Copies of this chain bind each other. A is one copy, B any other.
Amino acid sequence: MTILYTLDIIGTFAFAISGALVASKKKFDIFGIIIIAFVTAVGGGILRDVMINYYPINWIGDLNYVWTILLAVVFTFLFKSKIEPLRKTMFLFDTIGIAVFTMLGTEKCLNFGLDPFVAVIMGVVSAVMGGVVRDVLTQKTPLIFKKEIYALACFIGSLVFLGLRKIGVPLNLQYTLTITTIIIIRLVVVKYKLELPKIENDLFGLLKK
């Protein structure tokens, strides 16, 4: 699947840039920036592969990911002031990234013979955990825990993928529909500033009102 692979590389590139931008804001030096970019881009996949005991883990099995990340850091270094106004483009890339990561993560676990529900969780882990580790290493509260229904979009997309596979839809359509679902959810969520409920009140608090 060359298109899928291309999208995966684009996602990796976008994730690495997001890591590089956060790290450069924190005044990390160039090597620190590379490490954060690396962790952001492949952290979710590492965690997934380690948990399912898959070997070789993502970036060890295919060094193209490493080159893509290094390219993204160079790119950030050269065009930083141009990237920030391009926030919409970056957001689109990032969204493509999580969509592809979710789907490929889910698929890998299904092909590995894991329970479908485990595969769904692993799809979310693949897409989400890189950003979480980035935020931990740069001492920010992980945003995805608070905003933008990030993980939920991945979760729903992963369920859609599961459903399409069960129905027996052709592979290309499975991929296209899953990715489109996640992208659309993300776009709608961010456009209308939707947020998931928090647990500030409980049942009794709500009943009292």
Q: Which of B27, B33, B79, B155 contacts A31 (CB 8 A)?
A: B155
**How distant is the Cα of A151 from the Cα of B24 in the complex, in angstroms?**
16
Question: Which B residues touch A27, using CB under 8 A?
Answer: 146, 198, 200
Closest chain B residue, CB of each to CB of A117: B63
A179 to chain B minimum Cβ distance, whole angstroms, is 20
The distance from the CB of A165 to the nearest CB of chain B, in whole angstroms, is 19
- Contact partner of A149 (CB less than 8 A), chosen from B29, B82, B199, is B29
- The prevalent SS among residues of A at the interface is helix
Chain B residue at smallest Cβ distance from A121: B66
Query: Does A104 make an interface contact (CB < 8 A)?
Result: no
One of B31, B141, B196, B198 near A152 (C-beta < 8 A): B31
User: Which among B32, B56, B60, B81 is the interface contact of A202 at CB below 8 angstroms?
Assistant: B81
Q: Is the CB of A151 within 8 A of B32?
A: yes
Partner of A198, one of B29, B66, B128, B138: B29
Given A50-B51, A77-B199, A151-B35, A28 and B145 contact (CB-CB distance below 8 Å):
yes
- Copies of this chain, tallied across the complex: 3
A151-166 near B? 1/0 per residue, CB < 8 Å: 1100100000000000
A64 to chain B, nearest CB (A): 12
Max chain B Cβ within 10 angstroms of own Cβ: one of A35, A50, A199, A203 = A199
Contact residues, A10-30 vs B (CB, 8 A): 20, 23-24, 26-30
Indicate whether A55 reaches chain B with its CB closer than 8 angstroms. yes
Cα–Cα, bound, A144→B77 (Å): 19
Interface residue A184 (Cβ < 8 Å from any Cβ of B): no
* Apart from the given pairs A29-B145, A31-B149, A35-B145, 20 other A-B contacts in the complex at a CB distance below 8 Å: A28-B146, A29-B147, A29-B195, A30-B197, A30-B199, A31-B152, A32-B145, A32-B146, A33-B145, A51-B57, A51-B60, A53-B53, A53-B56, A53-B57, A60-B114, A80-B202, A81-B204, A81-B205, A82-B204, A137-B142
